[in-house]
Amino acid sequence: MKNSGNHKGHTLYAEAHRYYKNAKDTLRRSPIKGNAYQDMKYVQEACGTAYLAVLNALNGYLVERGMDPKKLPDSIEEYHAAFKKYLVHNGKVKGALSNVYEILHVFGYYKGFSTVDVVKIGFEKAKFLIEHLTRQKLG
């Protein structure tokens, strides 16, 4: 996400919304049987894209709050540290980021977790974060 430094915050917010929409469209391509997605290619791609959508929203927020675009976080630990410096201390937002990281990035993307209800929660938390950070933008 370092190349995001070439963008203004509003561009990153727009990208976050575009990525999220693309992720939802990709997820719909996987058939569901019972409570499990059947085509992990689409699930993994969708989860990875939704996670990147959240990172774009976070980067937009951080850039608008004065963070040097060349110093945007490289890891989930650095994003959590940025919460302490740049974000309002909001447990719901911090918890949602942890959920998005665990559900979408680790379980959905890397491990290919296919349970519909769990993936749906990850997407809901991603949407919450993107919308919340977009509403908090400056000007």
Give me the architecture of the 2-135 domain, per CATH.
Answer: Up-down Bundle (1.20)
Average pLDDT over the chain, rounded to an integer: 89
Report pTM. 0.89
**What is the tens place of the pLDDT at every residue in 66-88?**
888 899 999 999 988 887 787 66
Sequence letter at residue 30: S
Give the start-to-end residue ranges of the domains of the chain. Answer: 2-135
Structure tokens at 22: 């693309």
Look at residue 46 in the predicted model and tell me its pLDDT: 98
- How far is Cα 35 from Cα 40, in angstroms, rounded to an integer? 13
**DSSP codes of every residue in 58-94:** HHHHHHHTT--GGG--SSHHHHHHHHHHHS---HHHH
Which burial class, exposed, middle or buried, applies to 76 when counting CB atoms under 10 A from its CB (0-12, 13-18, 19+)? middle
Look at residue 86 in the predicted model and tell me its pLDDT: 76
CA-closest candidate to residue 107, choices 123, 129, 128, 88 = 123
Q: How many CB atoms lie within 10 A of CB 1?
A: 14
User: Is pLDDT at 18 greater than 90 in this prediction?
Assistant: yes
